[in-house]
Each structure stands twice: as structure tokens, then as C-alpha cells.
Amino acid sequence: MFTCEDWRAEPAAVIRPLIEAEADRWRAELDWDVTEAWRTIEPSRADGRLAGFVLRDDFSRVAGWTCFLVHGDMLQVAMFVAETAGAATALVDAIRRSPLATRASIAVVCCRGGAPGLASALERAGFATARYRYLSAPVRPAAAVDAPFRLRPWHMGDVEPFVTLCARAYEDASDLRAFAPRGLDAEWIDYVRGLLATSACGRFRPDLSVMADLDDTRRLAGAVFASELAPGTAHLAQVAVDPSARGRGLGTALVARAMAEAASRGFTQATLLVATGNRRAASIYERLGFRDRAAFVVAVCDQPRRLTSVALETGGASTRR
Ligand SMILES: CC(C)(COP(=O)(O)OP(=O)(O)OC[C@H]1O[C@@H](n2cnc3c(N)ncnc32)[C@H](O)[C@@H]1OP(=O)(O)O)[C@@H](O)C(=O)NCCC(=O)NCCS
């Protein structure tokens, strides 16, 4: 039996240690320093802008918590901590019943995969789920890799071409994803804007990012968008090659160059996320020394009725079950 309460009604003394404990896990498990990225969580919660729930067991111990927001028409769940499968189910139900869910036409979850039973709980709630592998590799100044295109760092004018590249690269992708889940132009613009302007995927490092131009066009043949997660840890937040340039070693050359750029700037490792179903990308990473480190759960529900019907029935009140 759990009691689920709106976390905005909780005192900061309860919530701060929960966020700090999760930040510690990100640091220890992922070498990902979220201090900057999560700085606004507690103030946004305290002034009522960031929704979330705290789950307590029969002994009033916190058994889990989550927070989420609506951006445009998308409900986004970025943090989800649960000690047991039962706690995960109760929190997923609470999100579905939340009044915010009634405003969303799609719900997207992207969380560190630490909560037991999270994927099953989401599937029972109508989500499609995917497991993402979080990989890391040591970086060292590498011997030059043959590239079918000239490689260069990120330039100011690359924003629009990068949006176009991402949209084209994922046009035929079948893996579920948390970014641009429907492949809409507006979602790609939003995604790239987020990569550049926020530290949700690490702090953007134009000097570690690697671009390849398609000959005689303003289009990109491929790119690695890189960020910094923590001192010594570079993150390859996006790797994309235009369909017309694939199968010629460009993806491999881009990743190898990004790793070498990171090494020459004092980084010791690179990390990235890849869907378990993305064998083509994984084969590149494994060949370059990337190994499994942790897992993330990604889930998408684009059937608003399923999400909102319960919420409309209950008015989204906090519940005891
Ligand atoms: C993944 C991606 C970047 C690869 O780009 P690329 O330029 O074709 O990559 P490369 O030519 O360097 O290497 C592709 C490798 O995958 C292998 N490959 C191709 N199809 C494959 C498949 N279905 N399963 C496994 N391996 C496959 C190729 O044989 C090649 O390996 P090889 O060099 O040993 O022959 C490109 O396909 C892409 O942009 N995909 C969509 C976006 C994406 O998934 N990005 C990665 C996110 S983590």
C-alpha cells in the first residue's frame, strides 16, 4: 500500500535530499554531473511550476518519486526513482491521473533505468518502451582515420543544417526515441535548440563536435554533436549521417575524430546512449572501444485518450492505493 502525494506540497527538507541522492547516483554510475542541469528543479517545484509525486510506504518511508512537465503538447518525464516494481506502478498511475496529462497529446519518458519494473509498468499503462544502452570508452589521441569527407569543427552557421541532417538521418529509423519522437520539423528544431541552450544533455562543446559537409551544398553529410558531462567526460549526444552518405565509413570517422578531439583537450572518456535495436550504430561504437555502463528506459505514449481518460474521471486527485 502506497500513499502518493503532490511533491509541490512537500517541504524542501524532504525533497532536496531525494534530488541530491539521485544526482549522486548519476555521478557514480554515469560520470554525469547534473548540478547545473538540475539547479532549477527545486525552485520550480517549490513555486508550483514543476509537477511531481512523492510515494510513501506504510511506514511513511519514501519509496519513490518522479517529476514531469508539459512542453508544447508533450508530457515529459525526466526523473523517475522507485525502489520496487510496485512503487514504479503506483508512480506511473499517478502520472497518468495527473491533471497535466490531460493537456498532453503525447507522453515521453527518458529515465536512468534504475527503477525495477519501470518498463513493464509503462507498458501496462499503454506506453511503447525501449531500452537504451549507456556506453563509455576511454579516449586517446588517435591515429588519423580515413574519412570520405573533410571533417571540421562546429561553426555558428551549422544550426539549421544540423536540424535538417537530424530530420533526414532519422526519417527511416524504427527505434523509439525521446527526442523528436514523431519526427515533426518543430520537434527537431526544439531538440537542437535544447542541445544548444540547455545542459540537459551536457554542456555543448563546439570544439569537440565534428561536422562533414556534403559537397557543393549547404547540407551536412554527417555530424557528431558533443557535450561535456563532467570534468574528463565528453558525451556524444548525437551521431548522424545523411542517408546519401552512409556505408562509406563516415559514421566511424566522425566518432573516432570526436574521441580524438576530446583526448587532445584532456578528456579521459567519452559516453553515449544508443537504442538496443540500433545495431548499425552499436557496431561502430563497439569497434571503437565503447562498452556497456548502464541503461536508460525510453517510453512513448501517443494515444492521448489512454493517458487522459483516467485523469478526466478522477480530476487528478492524489490517491491512496
Ligand atoms: C549509425 C550511422 C551514423 C552510421 O553511419 P555510416 O556512415 O553508415 O557508418 P559507417 O559507414 O562508418 O559504418 C557503418 C557500419 O555498420 C555496419 N552496418 C550496416 N548496417 C548494419 C546492420 N543492419 N547491422 C549491423 N551493422 C550494420 C556496416 O557494415 C559498417 O560496418 P563496417 O565498417 O564494419 O562495414 C547512420 O546509419 C545514421 O545516421 N543512422 C541514423 C541515426 C542514428 O541511428 N544515429 C546513432 C544514434 S546512437
Same domain, 122 and 221: no
For 250, residues 6+ apart whose C-beta sits below 8 A from its C-beta are 147, 148, 149, 212, 221, 222, 241
289 lines ligand 1 (CB under 6 A): no
Spatial distance between the Cα atoms of 234 and 189, rounded to a whole number of angstroms: 23
**Structural domain tally of the chain?**
2
Provide the pLDDT for residue 305.
52
Q: Is residue 75 part of a domain?
A: yes
Same domain, 203 and 231: yes
Spatial distance between the Cα atoms of 11 and 196, rounded to a whole number of angstroms: 33
Same domain, 147 and 285: yes
Same domain, 187 and 220: yes
Cα end-to-end distance, the chain, whole Å: 6
- CB atoms under 10 Å from CB of 206, counted, come to 15
218 lines ligand 1 (CB under 6 A): no
CA-nearest residue, atom 25 of ligand 1: 280
Q: Is residue 222 part of a domain?
A: yes
Low-confidence ranges of the chain (pLDDT < 70): 143-144, 303-321
Place of cell 518525464: 77
Provide the pLDDT for residue 303.
65
Same domain, 168 and 265: yes
DSSP 319: -
Provide the pLDDT for residue 308.
52
Residue 36 vs residues 33, 40, 83, 147, 189: alpha-carbon distances, Å: 8, 8, 26, 36, 23
Provide the pLDDT for residue 40.
95
Residue 110 DSSP SS3: strand
Spatial distance between the Cα atoms of 95 and 104, rounded to a whole number of angstroms: 12
What residues are paired with 220 via a beta bridge?
Answer: 213
281 lines ligand 1 (CB under 6 A): yes
pLDDT tens figures, 157-209: 999 999 999 999 999 999 999 999 999 999 999 999 999 999 999 999 999 99
Same domain, 63 and 141: no
Same domain, 265 and 198: yes
Pocket test for ligand 1, best of 168, 280, 298 (most atoms within 8 A of CB): 280
What are the E-state strand segments in 200-308?
A: 203-204, 210-213, 220-230, 233-241, 269-275, 291-301
Residue 40 DSSP SS3: coil
CA angle 103, 83, 70 (to 5 degrees): 15
Question: What's the CATH number where 141 sits?
Answer: 3.40.630.30
Residue 219 DSSP SS3: coil
How close is the Cα of 10 to the center of ligand 1, in Å?
48
Spatial distance between the Cα atoms of 93 and 85, rounded to a whole number of angstroms: 12
240 lines ligand 1 (CB under 6 A): yes
